[in-house]
Chain A
């Protein structure tokens, strides 16, 4: 030990430095569970879809009890830029996503094997592995379940539409005049409830298939553990010299599409806009949070180390000064 440093100062500073080191190795709490091993994904083989709409009908009839029944007239909302979003009079519209239509068939006329063909593609929530809608929902209304389903709780959602804005595909759709906001400050905060595919979480919990998968006469969709679904998707893609969408999009989703033509061609050919999501490549929207989380682990350790170093340095300087004053 340095002659300049008192034992007490050394131990205190050393303990602080050790605490900083130990903190960097703390394990995650037990409440934190890795979810990927238990996540279920769906495989959508675009080649097989004939666009019959059986999945759309099954989705609507199965989930009818979950659909909004808004109270009218709607409360006046302030400021005036806040617009009512009312689909209750168009609840049977099926050519886009709405609060009453969580799955629709998108069409794209493309060239397949030298022939022009109209592909029909079932579209709904992608059920991301790290969903920004659930991560960034300020109330915890949007949440991800351990089986990979992302859903929005209609009794908690205030309809602020943040989930739609942060969703790379802008999937959730709002219905005004329903939900918790009516009991809080209906004129000043909230605007209804956001709705989207919940992959029939209640049916899945009972061991049943999601309605769209069960109703499909062509076996377009499959559901299973994500790694198995991915294996199958890659096998099909290899066999048909095809393409996969959803494996890496937004860091990985639990909806995997397989197509005989590149998705950029499909995306170019299909109608896109509100309620009609794209099929573009998507960067991981939450990558910034993953990277910055590491900085958050290092920051307090750096702070502790800086304070400990400052303490030791000053104590050392003080010991030198004392020695000079009293050389004996």
Chain B
């Protein structure tokens, strides 16, 4: 197998991922009425942060791009990257947290569609779980970054 085929994502993908996550975290937290209370929207150029509809739209657009990126990365990993690399434990933890974020996010989107009604308990669960998964992801990503734990590690050759 050509090694170029099975390389983990390059720098631009990682930068895009971090940028998108920062946008999603900001606009996600912006769904709580805190940016006006705590003067964030008073910062010149940040008035939009207190507009719930605007931050909601940005969150949806970011989610679409992120889902596209996830689709690409997962497929790329399955088809080629995993031949030479394997997910590390911190990588697996992040993948599970991302699955939690995406799944609860999907139900959040479904709930917002017309003619779709969830039970009150389930609605509250997905609302809080979405926020919870995101908080845990951010803290764990920060911890893994500080301890330099990567997503993948090169497979070592099995001694014959």
Return chain B residues, CB-CB under 8 Å to A81.
37, 39
A-B residue pairs in contact (CB < 8 Å), sample of 27? A32-B118, A35-B117, A79-B37, A82-B37, A130-B113, A130-B114, A134-B123, A136-B112, A137-B127, A139-B127, A143-B123, A145-B120, A153-B120, A162-B52, A285-B53, A289-B57, A290-B113, A290-B114, A292-B60, A296-B64, A296-B67, A299-B67, A303-B68, A303-B69, A303-B73, A306-B68, A315-B5
The answer to whether A32 and B116 have CB atoms under 8 Å apart is yes
- Name the residue of chain A whose CB is nearest to the CB of B1: A318
- Name the residue of chain A whose CB is nearest to the CB of B54: A288
The answer to whether B63 and A144 have CB atoms under 8 Å apart is no
Residues 90-129 of B at the A interface (beta carbon under 8 Å): 106, 109-118, 120, 122-128
A162 with B115, Cβ < 8 A, contacts A307-B72, A314-B2 known: no
The answer to whether B57 and A292 have CB atoms under 8 Å apart is yes
Instruction: Give the secondary structure class of B's interface.
Output: helix
Once the chains are docked, how many angstroms separate the CA of A230 from the CA of B3?
A: 66
B65 beta carbon closer than 8 Å to chain A: yes
Once the chains are docked, how many angstroms separate the CA of A178 from the CA of B10?
A: 52
Taking Cβ atoms with an 8 Å cutoff, the residues of B that contact A are 2, 4-5, 31-34, 37-39, 52-53, 56-57, 60-61, 63-65, 67-76, 78-80, 106, 109-118, 120, 122-128, 131
Return chain B residues, CB-CB under 8 Å to A20.
71
The answer to whether B114 and A31 have CB atoms under 8 Å apart is no
Once the chains are docked, how many angstroms separate the CA of A95 from the CA of B129?
A: 41
A60 beta carbon closer than 8 Å to chain B: no
Return chain A residues, CB-CB under 8 Å to B114.
36, 129-130, 251-252, 286, 290
A228 beta carbon closer than 8 Å to chain B: no
Once the chains are docked, how many angstroms separate the CA of A165 from the CA of B50?
A: 10
Once the chains are docked, how many angstroms separate the CA of A189 from the CA of B29?
A: 13
- Name the residue of chain A whose CB is nearest to the CB of B72: A303
Return chain A residues, CB-CB under 8 Å to B131.
138
A205 beta carbon closer than 8 Å to chain B: no
